Structure 1
Amino acid sequence: MMPGDSDMTSIVQRIARQALVTYRSPPRVGEEAGKTFLENHAKLRSLMTEVRAADLKLAPRRAAGSPPGVPPLHHGAPPVTYMHICETDHFSMGVFLLKSGASIPLHDHPGMHGMLKVMYGKVRIRCFDRLERPAGSPQVAPPLPPAQMGSLRRSVLRSTGEFTEESGPCVLSPDRDNLHQIDAVDGPTAFMDILAPPYDPDDGRDCHYYKVLTEAEVKHTEQKEQEVWLMEVSQPPDFWCGGEPYPGPEVCL
């Protein structure tokens, strides 16, 4: 328990304080994490494992009616909304709410750590990393016009998994699982999200979007990760994020 905490302190407040301690001095990109960071990160992960929708005063939402086979996304309404909880120079914390059938497209988190915990519903997350050096068998770049070749990123699909409120957090770092796509599965969903440090285009932390062009065939049975080519694209026109008030306990830092 943090100094000054009591049984009355909300778990949201405890998570925010632990996030501040954890990410105040994170390891640099490519630098091995030290013992203190790993210990603090484990404490934060443990707290995130415990938090539930009721702690944030979130009520699970039901999918709006729609014809069979048509995702219930209302024209003109954002497919994704965000509840801001708090933000410092070291981290931001909030809740993303996805309507049934919605998706947060494949995107990156340059130089950032992150932790995601589902509050209700189910999400499918595909995690990728960029490959700076050859890994495994060499890949030939897909044929593209010369003007588009600079948008290609040689990458690897690290994992695909489904997460519910009973799952532990999905964790990313600057070097691992840094690009991901998040899809709502079987109805509306919401997840609590911590990013450290926050996005800041002026400091080189802007969000970039990608699409998968090719997935290499895995020729060796022991090779579980698939090499892929990603192409940087503009923000997809069918994705945008609105805002709504956060109903949960206030956080003071």
Structure 2
Amino acid sequence: MAKGSSVQTLYELCKRTFLPSGASPPSSHAIQMLSSLMDTITPAEVGLKAEVLEDERGHGFFGSTFSNYSSRTAGWAQPINYLHIYECDSFTIGIFCLPTSSVIPLHDHPGMTVLSKILYGSLHVKSYDWVEPPYLARNTEPFSSPMKLAKLQTDAVLMAPCQTRILYPRTGGNLHCFTAVTPCAVLDVLAPPYDEAAGRSCTYYRDFPFCSFQGYENLEIEEREEEYAWLEAIDQPENLYMRSGIYTGPPVQENVI
């Protein structure tokens, strides 16, 4: 029965925390309560079993490794599965299941608060926040977009169980990339959801080391140059292989008192 389940509690707390379309930012106390709840959620509570063995078909063809695989191997590539739990105007709840070596490329969450909990497995997370005031650079490649300076927030392998990660519209690593070190699953809450009409489109990026471009040696930065990168907006990568899966955990029951 859904009432009393962790998923139902998560839904009810999100409902109290996030107002429609982000009309008012949530309080830090409410976000911490939500994070603490997600810290306790296990794979079994959302209908998952942690995958122990590698799929014998291989590791997929994501990112720059694609050229190293034959067309036959590419046909074996495992997709990232997204398990939809709940969505409304205020927030979405879902789970990303990533096979080993799969990548969710560097992307942003404009005007959004996101909570991510690794349910099982190991995941490399690389995240950035924009530098304010903004600094722009120009790539010499034809038809390239201007690049914007960002500061590295995280570049580490995280292993379950670990604390829920929180990113905010301007802090906490709003732009991030996930690479699965082992099979893993990530429970995500996004608030408010992506909405192109409301200016919340998902933009993908590629990053360049700070030292890649001349003329910025005297730029005042607080940390080492290695802590900064230039980000260039790109089209959605063609090798992003994602599909909808079937959520088998407790369903959300709306209008439960």
Normalising by structure 2, report the TM-score. Answer: 0.81
Question: What are structure 1's unaligned runs of at least 5 residues?
Answer: 1-5
Partners of 1:242 and 1:140 lie apart in 2 by: 35
Q: 1:161 aligns with which of 132, 137, 156?
A: 156
* Contact 1:52–1:165 (Cα < 8 Å) also in 2: no
Match of 1:141, SS? Answer: strand
Give the letter for the 2:175 counterpart: L
Partners of 1:120 and 1:145 lie apart in 2 by: 41
Match of 1:107 in 2: 107
Greater share of helix: 2
Partners of 1:204 and 1:143 lie apart in 2 by: 26
Give the letter for the 1:83 counterpart: L
* Aligned residue pair count: 233
**TM-aligned CA distance change 1:183 to 1:57, over 3 Å:** same
* Contact 2:149–2:228 (Cα < 8 Å) also in 1: yes
Give the letter for the 1:129 counterpart: D
Partners of 2:107 and 2:2 lie apart in 1 by: 38
Superposed, 1:125-164 pairs within 5 Å as 125-133=125-133, 141=137, 143-145=139-141, 147-148=143-144, 150-164=145-159
Q: How much does 1:151 deviate? A: 3.6
Q: Does 1:213 align with 2:208?
A: yes
Q: 1:189 aligns with which of 170, 184, 205?
A: 184
Partners of 2:108 and 2:2 lie apart in 1 by: 37
CA RMSD of aligned residues (A): 2.9
Match of 2:64 in 1: none
Question: What are structure 2's unaligned runs of at least 5 residues?
Answer: 62-72
Match of 1:204 in 2: 199
Match of 1:235, SS? Answer: coil
Moved over 6 A (4+): 217-220
Normalising by structure 1, report the TM-score. Answer: 0.82
**TM-aligned CA distance change 1:241 to 1:7, over 3 Å:** closer
Partners of 1:7 and 1:201 lie apart in 2 by: 32
Partners of 1:9 and 1:128 lie apart in 2 by: 37
